[in-house]
Every structure is written in C-alpha cells, then in structure tokens.
Amino acid sequence: MKTLIVYYSLEGNTEYAARKIADGIGADLLRLVPKKAYADKGLAKFFWGGKSAVMGEKPALEPYSADLSAYDRILFGFPVWASNFTPPIRTFVADHLPEIRDKQIAAFACQSGGGAEKALAKLRRAVGIDTFEAEAVFIDPKQKQSRKTDDDIDAFCRKLK
Ligand SMILES: Cc1cc2nc3c(=O)[nH]c(=O)nc-3n(C[C@H](O)[C@H](O)[C@H](O)COP(=O)(O)O)c2cc1C
C-alpha cells in the first residue's frame, strides 16, 4: 500500500515521528509549510498558534507538489494545538477533500500533555469519516526522546503494514 505522510511540524516533534514512520513503512513525506510562519518562541507561540487553531483558520501554504492519485493511504501527522489539529492540515483537507475521501486515512498526533483525542476527533469530522484506519498519539517524541515513544512509533508502523 502506497502511503503519503502529510504533516505539519512547528518544533520538530511531528517531523521526527513522520520520518521514523516513513522509514518504517516505506512512505513518502509531504511537509506542509504555511506562507506566514507561526511564531515558535515565548508567549506569542501559544497565543497566535492557539488562536489560529481555535478559530479554525486555513492558512495559505507554500506551493508543494504531490500526485495524490498515486497513493492508497494518507497518513496525517500534526502537533496538538489547543486540543485541535493544526491549521495547515485544515487547509490541506479543505483543498483535497474529494481526492482523499476514497483513500485509507490514518493519523498521528504529537502533544505534550492532553487534547489529542479531541484533536483526532475533529480531524475525523473535517475529513468526514467515523474512524481512522489507525491512529496514535506520541508525547513530544523529539524533545522527550524515550525508548517507550520509539517503541510506540514502531508499534504504529506495524499497524500500518
Ligand atoms: C500553539 C500551541 C498549542 C498547544 N496546545 C497543546 C495542547 O492543547 N495540548 C498538548 O498536550 N500540547 C499542546 N502543545 C504542545 C505541542 O502539541 C507538542 O509540544 C508537540 O509535540 C509539538 O510538535 P511539533 O514539534 O511538531 O511542533 C501546544 C503547542 C503550541 C505551539
């Protein structure tokens, strides 16, 4: 099954997990980059990112090329922001909904505390599905590197094979 991992990462945790999963299952990677970068420091980081997530914004993305018709599965990866999935993923879903609806859809979320279940539920609603083929939650996999998280990522890869 050919998989495209579509992800956004502000501080590298989702990127870390996305790369490990891509290696583990032999998937391609598509990193979404908003035209206007989100602040990545201090209070501004939480204020602007949190507000954008709560408002359900769809920020414009830098151009990317991906032939979605070449993939059987889309695996979304995102950091949890204010118990929501991150806005660049919202943009991608809105731009490609008809193309992704007939594919297998899976997702993973990275968080530091809580809210991932709500965020995953909101993404399911945005895509219009009741369940993901597979889903996983990782705790700051890059910042808090641990054997357990790496094992969890490996277990997720086995579910996706
Ligand atoms: C704007 C903002 C809001 C966040 N909201 C949450 C949250 O609701 N729950 C949580 O557990 N972590 C929250 N976090 C922490 C990130 O989800 C977490 O550190 C994640 O691993 C970061 O992934 P990244 O390095 O790929 O950006 C938030 C971070 C930011 C910047």
* Full set of structural domains in the chain with CATH: 3-160 (3.40.50.360)
pLDDT per position as a tens digit, 43-63: 999 999 999 999 999 999 999
CA 141–ligand 1 middle distance (angstroms): 12
Burial of 41 (0-12, 13-18, 19+ CB in 10 A): exposed
Nearest ligand 1 atom, CA 48: 1
Q: pTM of the predicted model, to two decimals?
A: 0.98
CA 96–ligand 1 middle distance (angstroms): 25
pLDDT per position as a tens digit, 64-119: 999 999 999 999 999 999 999 999 999 999 999 999 988 999 999 999 999 999 99
Q: Give the whole-angstrom CA distance, residue 75 versus residue 32.
A: 13
User: Which residues have C-beta atoms less than 6 Å from ligand 1?
Assistant: 9-15, 45-46, 49-50, 79-83, 110-115, 140
Give percent of the chain above pLDDT 70.
100
Q: Give the whole-angstrom CA distance, residue 101 versus residue 139.
A: 28
CA-closest residue to ligand 1 atom 16? 111
Smallest CA-to-CA distance from 99 within 78, 70, 123 is with: 70
Mutate which of 19, 55, 81 for ligand 1? The one with the most ligand atoms within 8 Å of its CB, which is 81
